[in-house]
A = this chain, B = another copy of it.
């Protein structure tokens, strides 16, 4: 079984892909999804003062095998040195640039329940090129207050806020029943990428990308594998790897 790979496919159908104008280098989706993981491993190495790293050890740190890592990196260009490895700083910069993380993108967060507040407080966003520029909720108790130094605005002003801050990426953390409505309004206001935590399928026009994080689905997938393990428990010997979709 492979690792978290299916989480890539988890959401989409969508093969809009047809080579529009030929000569542009296209990076496989599976690779893009892993670049973020490499980035984290690289950050840890940089913190530890490591200057160069081999594909083998970086792969181990990221939880993939080294052939895959090298193939992934080869899509960005040739930034390694044979016999030596990859320069940590240089490679970090290349990946960040590929992912478009050097622009400090503005993100709107809609829905400030526990999940929304957890997201608002997640340091990983700020340190990775994202800036939460708008906090939006419908609860009058929250609206007008501040959270992490940012004013909470009412959902009625959603369009206005998105437009004035020129926000292209939004995170939806509202209840399922409100998600499609919020989504429609975000799209109308110009948002083109959405990360959806609400347990519902969103309908969007073709130019908008949606990724979904589905907590219940994740547990159900685990349940399936757990179930299967239990049902063949008589064969106790197993020798292989553990990380599984």
Contacts and interface: CB of A to CB of B under 8 A. Distances in A.
A172 to B, nearest CB: 12
Instruction: Determine how many copies of this chain the complex contains.
Output: 2
Given A24-B231, A218-B211, A226-B100, A242 B204 contact: yes
* A contact patch SS: mixed
Nearest to A229: B192
Interface stretch (A45-53, A57-65, A83-91, A157-165): A57-65
A21 interface: yes
A145 B239 CA distance: 42
Measured as residues with beta carbon below 8 angstroms from the partner, the interface class of chain A is 35 or more
Interface string A65-84: 10010000000000000000
Nearest to A7: B1
A45 to B, nearest CB: 13
A182 interface: no
Given A10-B33, A125-B215, A128-B216, 16 more contacts: A1-B29, A1-B60, A1-B243, A3-B4, A6-B239, A13-B64, A13-B243, A17-B240, A37-B201, A99-B221, A115-B115, A118-B118, A124-B215, A125-B216, A171-B219, A210-B244
A142 interface: no
Nearest to A100: B227
Interface in A193-240: 193-195, 199-202, 204-232, 235, 238-240
A115 B219 CA distance: 16
A193 B222 contact: yes
B128 A9 contact: no
18 contacts: A1-B60, A4-B211, A11-B63, A12-B241, A16-B239, A24-B232, A32-B224, A99-B221, A101-B223, A107-B219, A124-B215, A125-B216, A129-B220, A195-B218, A195-B222, A211-B222, A211-B244, A211-B245
A119 interface: yes
Contacts of A40: 199-200, 216-217
B7 A241 contact: yes
A144 interface: no
